[in-house]
């Protein structure tokens, strides 16, 4: 066996594919023989990632919080590759780090718009496409350690990522009888663009990296270490894994003490 089974020739959408975890997922899926449809608001970035894929790919600039953009990437995927099999719905932003009393309703709506509405629109579009095909399909959502526990000064992000688990479970209940598996990966701290944004908003990267040393594995993760969970969940090797959240966080989820 050379890699995860059942990915060869599949058409896989990856959102937030211009950088970080999404770019790593796009590369891995491509290396395993999938045809990748890479979606991101960063048009140059997503074209760059597709240009570097080892296999066929399609870059579709777009905003996952806009219904017309979501419909368009699915349409473009079908026009180019004839069908749509797999989804890694991963685009996300961290948003405002302000303390709770200073958060504005716009801060909240903006983060929920991308992370939660985006997850809903992506899942809904996936099912709309799957029902016109001959069955099957698999979806992985990028949740977060912030889906599972509290953290300081990140309320909109945390609320959005808890909501992603609601989308996951609702979609898994719907998809199970149709043979469509829906799962999530919950990353811990991974130095990416989003991580740098969070570090800057929190007052400095050093503090975020220090937090990385408090996880049981004593380090932050890499985008590739998250992508390997994603490709497993999308592959036939995960054929009986459904409605599940797999943490890839160096053990952070098991820590419930303030002691490092």
Note the residues at the interface with ligand NAD (CB under 6 A): 15-16, 18-22, 40-42, 45, 63-65, 90-93, 114, 118, 142, 144-145, 187, 189-190, 192-195
In the chain, the N- to C-terminal Cα span, in Å, equals 40
- How far is the C-alpha of 59 from the C-alpha of 104, rounded, in Å? 34
Give the nearer residue to ligand NAD in terms of CB position, either 96 or 142: 142
CA 158 to chain centre: 15
Cβ 111 vs Cβ 163: under 8 Å? no
Tell me the closest approach of the beta carbon of residue 177 to ligand NAD, in angstroms. 28
Residue 56: is it exposed, middle or buried by C-beta count within 10 angstroms (0-12/13-18/19+)? Answer: middle
3-class SS string, 17-75: CCCHHHHHHHHHHHHCCCEEEEEECCHHHHHHHHHCCCCCEEEEECCCCCHHHHHHHHH
Query: Which member of 130, 157, 174, 240 is catalytic?
Result: 157
**CA nearest 76: which of 20, 116, 34, 36?**
36
When the beta carbons of 6 and 117 are compared against ligand NAD, the nearer one is 117
CB 161 within 8 A of CB 115: yes
> Which CB sits closer to ligand NAD, 41 or 86?
41
Q: Active site includes 130?
A: no
Between 35 and 161, CB nearer to ligand NAD: 161
Q: What SS3 state is found at 1?
A: coil
Q: How far is the CB of 96 from ligand NAD (least distance, A)?
A: 14
Write down the H helix ranges in 85-222. 105-112, 118-130, 155-175, 193-201, 205-212
Cα distance between residue 119 and residue 82, in whole Å:
23
Whichever of 41 and 138 has its CB closer to ligand NAD, that residue is 41
Which CB, 118 or 175, lies closer to ligand NAD? Answer: 118
The three-class DSSP label of residue 231 is helix
Residues 16, 88: Cα–Cα separation, whole Å: 9
Active site residues: 157
């Amino acid at each position: 066996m050379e890699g995860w089974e059942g990915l060869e020739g599949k058409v896989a959408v990856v959102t937030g594919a211009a950088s970080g975890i999404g770019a790593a997922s796009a590369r891995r899926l491509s290396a395993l023989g999938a045809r990748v449809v890479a979606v991101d608001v960063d048009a140059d970035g997503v074209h760059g990632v597709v240009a570097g894929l080892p296999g066929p790919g399609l870059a579709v600039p777009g905003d996952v919080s806009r219904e017309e953009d979501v419909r368009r990437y699915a349409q473009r995927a079908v026009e180019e590759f004839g069908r749509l099999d797999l989804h890694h719905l991963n685009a996300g932003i961290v948003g405002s780090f302000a303390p709770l009393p200073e958060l504005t309703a716009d801060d909240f709506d903006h983060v929920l718009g991308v992370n939660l509405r985006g997850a809903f629109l992506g899942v809904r579009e996936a099912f709309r496409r799957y029902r016109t095909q001959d069955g099957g399909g698999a979806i992985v959502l990028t949740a977060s350690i912030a889906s599972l526990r509290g953290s300081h000064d990140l309320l909109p992000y945390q609320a959005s990522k808890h909501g992603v688990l609601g989308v996951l479970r609702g979609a898994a209940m719907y998809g199970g009888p149709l043979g469509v598996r829906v799962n999530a990966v919950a990353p811990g701290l991974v130095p990416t663009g989003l991580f740098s944004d969070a570090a800057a908003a929190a007052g400095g990267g050093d503090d975020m990296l220090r937090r990385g040393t408090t996880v049981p594995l004593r380090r932050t993760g890499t985008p590739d270490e998250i992508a390997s969970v994603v490709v497993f969940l999308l592959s036939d090797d995960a054929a009986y894994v459904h409605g599940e959240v797999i943490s890839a966080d160096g053990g952070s989820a098991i820590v419930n003490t303030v002691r490092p």
